[in-house]
Amino acid sequence: MKATTEIDPQLVKQLREKTNAGFMDCKRALVESGGDLPKAEAILRTKGIASAGKKAARVTKEGIVASYIHLQGKVGVLVEVNCETDFVARNENFREFVKDITLHIAAAHPLYVSHADVPGNLIEAEREIYKAQVKGKPENVAERIVEGKLEKFYSSVCLLEQAFIKNPDVTIKDLVSAKIAELGENIVIRRFVRYLVGEPLPSESWAL
């Protein structure tokens, strides 16, 4: 392992450009990885997610409401993303992150922010469908299959569980955690709405 003073400044610069982490954080990660750039990036990400977890309980009363109109006015998105301070709410980095969230919602069409927002009756209805599909299998096997199908269901309808459209290797939840670590404040996607021209309204869907 190289000593701290032997780390190539160019490597530190590259890591900072890739992660937006602080200079000393990048340098320490490179020391820990022995100068291996991908490993150093993984170290920063791991530590970032861990630090994000510590910030998750902090109150978020600032933030912005952002909009996005897609397909020449055929799809529209409104989203509220909260942070802790007005300073971060005005930060261009934070605003670019929120813009990415609006783009993702327009493209991926989530229905809920998280597991907690999915109505219990809908979850039970899905569970019953999956149970019927595995009828006849051993109980322990059937249970694992049903839970696996439910997880897949969550990943399709819950924003935080979806794979980010710009990088399918990470979920929106991972993206939020990384941004928390980067900006040093708790960040919460509080709510969103997505409109599609011509889609049935809830009252119309009920009538059908």
pLDDT digits (tens, 9 = 90+) for 69-117: 987 889 999 999 999 999 999 999 999 999 999 999 999 999 999 988 9
The per-residue pLDDT for 2 is 38
Domains of the chain: total: 3
Q: Are residues 94 and 42 in the same domain?
A: no
75, 195 Cβ separation under 8 angstroms: yes
Question: Is this prediction's pTM over 0.75?
Answer: no
pLDDT at 55 over 90: no
Task: Kindly state the DSSP code that residue 7 receives in the 8-state scheme.
Answer: S
CATH value at residue 194? 3.30.479.20
On whether the CB atoms of residues 182 and 20 are closer than 8 A, the answer is: yes
Cα–Cα distances (Å) from 53 to 47, 73, 91, in that order, read: 10, 38, 22
Is 139 found in the same domain as 44?
no
CATH of the domain at 30: 1.10.8.10
The CA-atom distances, in angstroms, between 7 and each of 24, 37, 158 are 11, 11, 42
* Farthest-apart Cα atoms in the chain, separation: 71
Are residues 13 and 90 part of one domain? no
Are residue 128 and residue 145 in the same domain, yes or no?
yes
Provide, rounded to the nearest whole percent, the portion of the chain with pLDDT above 70. 86
What residues are paired with 64 via a beta bridge?
81
Instruction: Give the CA distances from residue 193 to residues 87, 102, 108, 159, 181, in Å, rounded to whole numbers and listed in that order.
Output: 26, 10, 13, 12, 27
Name, in order, each residue with C-beta under 8 angstroms of 171's C-beta and a sequence gap of 6 or more: 155, 160, 161, 162, 163, 164
Q: Tell me the per-residue pLDDT of 175-185, one tens digit each, with 9 for 90 and over.
A: 998 898 888 88
For residue 146 the two structure tokens come to: 């049903």
Mean pLDDT for the chain?
85
- In this structure, the answer to whether residues 137 and 48 fall within a common structural domain is no
Domain around 186: 62-115+158-207
pLDDT tens digits, one per residue of 184-203: 889 999 999 999 998 887 65
**What pLDDT is stored for residue 208 in this prediction?**
44
Q: What one-character-per-residue DSSP string does 130-172 give?
A: HHHHTTTS-HHHHHHHHHHHHHHHHHHHBGGGSEETTEEEEEH
15 CB neighbour count, 10 Å cutoff: 25
Specify the DSSP element, H or E, that contains 37: helix 37-55
